[in-house]
């Protein structure tokens, strides 16, 4: 069979949903390969991949506060490369000389301590794979009516997975010796906002890491170089970057980042503070908004995660939510880490809506939009985890398939340069 015939047959097989490789082109006399690029001390991505980059909204009034989304529409896997891990800054990225870096632990302790990086790195360490997610992830879901041109990256790209290596915070606190009245760990960053968040002592002793490695190498500056907190399963803003100070207290700091920001509005107008755990999420990244598909076979691919533990199940619907089937979870399925799911599907060319929902090992189920807004106000800004639907149009184009909500439209209480790319009322 000639090349043209082969491609025609392959196309027919793909269209029929039964792709089989039936011939391979083989040239027995290929031209001599050209001498390639020489050895290099640091590898770079292929120049043909330059378009795969973090998304930064053109609506931001400043590039020093806001968020850059991980390009999840174009990535696969549960570990994100350091340079594509999502980024959320409140006052720019400080440049910290690791030789001058210090961490102070003081307050309600027997022995106030000061660590330099070398001393910290001599302590016992652990490496664990976790997701980190901005509490503002999904904030574009508060838009009403839903924005048709939403992409997977702009819908849920304020999450990333990485392997973090560091010293368990418990070890440092035991070294300092907690006084009996110690209740809160107040962490402060060295950025220009002196970002402060309070962590209950039980969580601090349970599983928090003082991390200095991200995927085996030093943290990226925009992810906290040289040292950050990793607070498994909890909102990103409590995982203080550029960590420089830990104050042990009997009460929380009530900082800007836990009062005017990162608090959540209920439908009756009351506000919850200290909403820490990230609830179950999933998103189909392929096919997803802005992409275009052909007739025939597709492997639906996506990510799921939950701050409560492992993902137990992901269900996929390809008929607008009438029926749901279990997706396949790719190993490893780790505690509070991104989990990949896949689902084989044949598109018949008719308009339809596809969507996924995650269920974690504690039985928490990712809600529909209607269910989500029964629990949280329409003008809330954080912790949006409703199901994201994608409409496949009959021309193969993919767009936001979220249903509009009944009732009054309310703008968020305040603009936030986080997951909503500055919601403009
Ligand atoms: Co919260």
The CA 422 to ligand 1 mean position distance, Å, reads 18
Half-sphere exposure of 221 (CA within 13 A, CB side): 8
Which tokens go with 2? 């000639």
The CA 208 to ligand 1 mean position distance, Å, reads 17
The CA 316 to ligand 1 mean position distance, Å, reads 27
Question: Would you say 105 and 248 are in contact if contact means Cβ atoms under 8 Å apart?
Answer: yes
Return the pLDDT at 224. 98
Which region among 14-18, 137-141, 238-242 has the lowest average model confidence (pLDDT)?
14-18
Confidence category of residue 19, pLDDT binned at 50, 70, 90? low
Task: Give residue-wise pLDDT tens across range 54-81.
Answer: 999 998 888 999 999 999 999 999 999 9
The CA 166 to ligand 1 mean position distance, Å, reads 24
Tell if the pTM clears 0.85, that is, is over it: yes
Task: Give residue-wise pLDDT tens across range 257-298.
Answer: 999 899 999 999 999 999 999 999 999 999 999 999 999 999
The CA 416 to ligand 1 mean position distance, Å, reads 14
The CA 149 to ligand 1 mean position distance, Å, reads 27
Confidence category of residue 332, pLDDT binned at 50, 70, 90? very high
Question: Would you say 342 and 297 are in contact if contact means Cβ atoms under 8 Å apart?
Answer: no
The CA 49 to ligand 1 mean position distance, Å, reads 35
The CA 271 to ligand 1 mean position distance, Å, reads 11
Return the pLDDT at 421. 80
Return the pLDDT at 282. 98
Task: Give residue-wise pLDDT tens across range 124-180.
Answer: 999 999 999 999 999 999 988 899 999 999 999 999 999 999 999 999 999 999 999
* Consecutive H or E run containing 372: helix 369-375
Instruction: Give CA–CA dist 280/272, Å, rounded.
Output: 19
Residues 6+ apart with CB under 8 A from 44: none
The CA 135 to ligand 1 mean position distance, Å, reads 6
The CA 76 to ligand 1 mean position distance, Å, reads 27
Which region among 17-21, 85-89, 403-407, 415-419 has the lowest average model confidence (pLDDT)?
17-21
Q: How far is CA 355 from CA 208, 346, 400, in A?
A: 33, 15, 10
Pick the CATH number of 281-400 from 2.60.40.650, 1.10.3720.10, 3.40.50.300, 3.40.50.720: 2.60.40.650
Task: Give residue-wise pLDDT tens across range 360-391.
Answer: 999 999 999 999 999 999 989 999 999 999 99
Residues 6+ apart with CB under 8 A from 171: 123, 124
The CA 234 to ligand 1 mean position distance, Å, reads 8
Task: Give residue-wise pLDDT tens across range 27-39.
Answer: 778 888 889 999 9
The CA 382 to ligand 1 mean position distance, Å, reads 6
Give me the residue spans of the domains in the chain: 87-272, 281-400
Report which DSSP code applies to 319.
S
The CA 351 to ligand 1 mean position distance, Å, reads 37
Tell me: domain 87-272, CATH 3.55.50.30, correct?
A: no
* Consecutive H or E run containing 298: strand 296-305
Confidence category of residue 25, pLDDT binned at 50, 70, 90? confident
């Amino acid at each position: 069979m000639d090349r043209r015939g082969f491609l025609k047959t392959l196309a027919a097989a793909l269209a029929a949903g039964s792709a089989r490789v039936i011939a391979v082109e083989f040239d027995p006399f290929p031209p001599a390969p050209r001498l390639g690029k020489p050895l290099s001390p640091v590898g770079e991505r292929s120049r043909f991949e330059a378009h795969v980059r973090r998304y930064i909204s053109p609506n931001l009034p400043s590039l020093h506060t806001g968020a850059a989304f991980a390009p999840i529409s174009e990535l696969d896997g549960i570990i994100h490369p350091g340079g594509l891990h999502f980024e959320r800054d409140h006052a720019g990225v400080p440049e910290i000389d690791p030789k001058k870096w210090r961490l102070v632990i003081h307050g309600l302790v027997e022995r106030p301590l000061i660590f330099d990086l070398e001393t910290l790195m001599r302590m016992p360490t652990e490496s664990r794979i976790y997701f980190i997610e901005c509490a503002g992830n999904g904030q574009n879901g508060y838009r009403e009516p839903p924005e048709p041109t939403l992409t997977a990256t702009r819908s849920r790209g304020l999450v990333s997975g990485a392997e973090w290596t560091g010293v368990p915070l418990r070890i440092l606190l035991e070294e300092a010796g907690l006084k009996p009245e110690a209740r809160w760990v107040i962490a402060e960053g060295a950025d220009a906002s002196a970002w402060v968040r309070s962590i209950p002592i039980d969580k601090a002793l349970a599983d928090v890491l003082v991390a200095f490695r991200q995927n085996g190498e030093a943290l990226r500056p925009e992810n906290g170089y040289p040292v950050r907190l990793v607070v498994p399963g909890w909102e990103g803003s409590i995982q203080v970057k550029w960590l420089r100070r830990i104050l042990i207290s009997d009460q929380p700091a009530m900082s800007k980042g836990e009062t005017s920001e990162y608090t959540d509005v209920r439908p009756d107008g009351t506000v919850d503070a200290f909403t820490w755990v990230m609830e179950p999420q999933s998103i189909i990244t392929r096919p997803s908004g802005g992409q275009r598909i052909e007739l025939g076979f597709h492997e639906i691919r996506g990510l799921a995660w939950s701050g409560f533990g492992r993902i137990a199940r992901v269900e996929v619907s390809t008929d607008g939510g009438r029926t749901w089937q279990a997706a396949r979870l790719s190993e490893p399925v780790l505690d509070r880490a991104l989990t990949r799911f896949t689902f084989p599907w044949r598109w018949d060319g008719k308009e339809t809506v596809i969507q996924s929902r995650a269920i974690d090992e504690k039985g928490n189920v990712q809600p529909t939009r209607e269910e989500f807004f029964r629990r949280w106000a329409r003008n809330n800004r954080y912790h949006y985890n409703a199901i994201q639907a994608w409409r496949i149009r009959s021309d193969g184009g993919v767009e936001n398939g979220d249903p509009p909500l009944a009732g009054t439209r309310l703008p968020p209480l305040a603009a936030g340069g986080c997951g909503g790319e500055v919601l403009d009322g």
